[in-house]
Structure 1
Amino acid sequence: MPAASARRVSPDRCPQPSGRRRSGVVTMVASGLSNQTGAAVGALAFPVIGPVGVVAVRQYVAAAVLLAVGRPRLRHLTWAQWWPVLLLAVVFGTMNLSLYSAVDRIGLGLAVTLEFLGPLGIALAAARRRLDACCAVIAAAGVVTLMRPRPSADYAGMGLALLAAACWAAYILLNRTVGRRVAGAQGAAAAAGVSAVLFLPVGVLVALRHPPDAASIAWAVTAGVLSSAVPYLADLLTLRHVPAQTFGLFMSVNPVLAAVVGLLVLGQDLGGWEWAGVAAVVAANTLSLATRRV
């Protein structure tokens, strides 16, 4: 899902000019809104081609962008480089498919909040502070609130969102391995290309069983551009002007952005308990990052 996790960024200890930092903040806001708006727009095509069809188109768009930027030299990759790339491709596709399927069942805000447990879990697992243990408890309380038993609870949708969270965590770890073994963005680009190839038969099958109309294709392509191309390029610019810790703090706000966009674009309103759960997960990550020394 998020393009930013495909890159390893060293914390920036050098002071940044205020103008550039303001520009970076504006770009971060635009990237987050673009990502969540893309997911909401993709949901508009669900009635025609379903989450699978939308994800297939998104994978094609992501591959086109990353291959153009990374320009991987595939013939020169060794098996030691290829195997994490192949795993990354599978995880990338599974992450997006499980997330969009969850959005279809439980709504954008809840799906993104539960998916966010992936990177949060990675961050807390590596921590050794008591404060981080408290953050883990806060996040767990938020999850319990979101997944509490009730007649309208869709546990299959929640399970898909948690699968997306596990895939996001694996995505981060695999990107670290790929980043160490393959220069630049070539590894991420190769993985996106392989994932797109894997989704080619899926896209053909969806098109044959559920012939898309022009509107659904437009929604799906727009989702791919807004959720893949724009965030990837925006985050590249942002990380030049904003410290990594600040970038991570802003990423914490994505569940809130998803809930707001879901309300405005899809009419998916959250109840008081759901907002409390979202706030707990966001607060846990924000507190952990804000108090961490860089």
Structure 2
Amino acid sequence: MKASADRSSGIVSSGIVAMLASGASNQVGAALGAHAFASIGPAGVVAVRQFVAAAVLLPVARPDMRRFTWRQWWPTLLLGVVFATMNLSLYTAIDRIGLGLAVTLEFLGPLTVALAGSRTRVDLLCAAAAAAGVYALVQPGPSSDFVGVGMGLLAAACWASYILLNRLVGARLPGLQAPAAATTVSALLYVPVAVALAATGRLDFAAIAFAVGAGLLSSVIPYAADLLILRRVPAQFFGLFMSIHPVLAALAGLLLLGQFLAPTQWAGIALVVAANAVAATQRRPALATAAA
């Protein structure tokens, strides 16, 4: 009995370590991508990141897209557009307002899906805490970058759309076929960006290396790690632990990009993280659970 309990504890502990590694990899990858903004811009970084993700996912999933029906194609196409828009809006926000603030705003997407339709006092308090956190993050002032904030909120809307579409596509395509096909669609949308950058001579080695690093650390490694993690820890605990991402993003921005945050901004991040954490602990229908 004790051996079984120790084994279960060890499995959960390894899952927690994997979640920390996955989250850190994701945010370090985003910071690496930011180093290429000056050369190829956020769109160029996203283009390379999507090419890397497609190059890894396609050989693994091997979706037979020639046999897709229209019922399978239309949500896959939409999901590809959401991928393309979500990554571009997030990287544009990172470029304008910093990594920590951009990722925190993006996390409003899954929080909104989790709270949608709820009328409980706890959820209303979560919504109020998140709103207060956002206000602390983006207090209007002479130097406020409203475009950057808007891009962060667009990334949040895309993440909410991703949750809803991914559930639909996952029900119609088995295994990894859905993300592989959608990533391929997104990568194809960025081919003109890569062509334009190549034609203007902006695809230098350093920029490509940073962007490839972003693709590996922010797409490939976290995706593989998350598949392993969900076999070791409960889905609800996984959703709760995801709330640490804005903190990891702020730390990555501080250590790798020199992006310092004011105490009020740290307080705002803490409020959004707390709202996400509490929301993730509530019992919800299947659709809301997918947000975790």
In the alignment, does 2:176 pair up with 1:185?
yes
Q: State the SS of the aligned residue for 2:175.
A: coil
The equivalent residue for 1:152 is 143
Quote how far apart the aligned CAs of 1:126 are. 4.2
CA distance in 2, matches of 1:145, 1:19: 39
**Could you give the per-residue CA deviations for residues 98-157 of structure 1, whole angstroms, max 9, x where no partner exists?**
000110000000000001100010001143421111100110111112121112210100
2:100 paired residue number: 109
How big is the shift at 1:161? 0.6
Amino acid of the residue matched to residue 264 of structure 1?
Answer: L
Check if 1:80 corresponds to 2:71.
yes
Counterpart of 1:229, as a letter, is V
Aligned to 2:163: 172
Equivalent position of 2:260 in the other structure: 269
Residues 1:281 and 2:281 aligned together? no
Contact map agreement 1:16 1:242 (CA 8 A) in 2:
no
Aligned partner of residue 283 in structure 1, secondary structure: helix
- 2:131 paired residue number: 140
CA distance in 1, matches of 2:189, 2:143: 35
- C-alpha spacing 1:127/1:71, structure 2 compared with 1 (3 Å): farther
Deviates more, 1:141-150 or 1:275-284: 141-150
1:20 CA drift (Å): 1.1
> Are the counterparts in 2 of residues 48 and 210 from structure 1 also a CA contact under 8 Å?
no
Cα-Cα RMSD:
1.5
Do the aligned residues in 2 keep the contact of 1:102 with 1:158 (CA within 8 Å)?
yes
Contact 1:16/1:241 (8 A) holds in 2: no
Distance 2:201 2:99 in 1: 24
Per the alignment, residue 189 of structure 2 pairs with: 198
Contact 2:111–2:279 (CA<8 Å) still a contact in 1?
no
Q: What code does the residue aligned with 1:231 have? A: P
Tell me how far 1:165 sits from its aligned partner: 0.5
Percent sequence identity over aligned pairs: 64
Distance 1:129 1:252 in 2: 21
Aligned residue type for 1:71: R
Which ranges in structure 2 are unaligned for 5 or more consecutive residues?
1-5
1:16 & 1:292 partners in 2: Cα distance? 27
- Counterpart position of 2:43: 52
> How far apart are the structure 2 equivalents of 1:24 and 1:291?
21
State whether residues 49 and 210 of structure 1, in contact with CA within 8 Å, keep that contact through their aligned partners in structure 2: no
Q: CA deviation at 1:197?
A: 1.1
TM-score normalized by structure 1?
Answer: 0.92
Report the CA distance shift for 1:16/1:81 in structure 2 as closer, same or farther (over 3 A).
Answer: farther
- Is structure 2 residue 228 aligned with structure 1 residue 237? yes
How many angstroms apart in 1 are the aligned matches of 2:240 and 2:140? 31
* Counterpart for residue 21 of structure 1: 12
Pairwise CA distance, 1:16:
7.6
Distance 2:265 2:60 in 1: 39
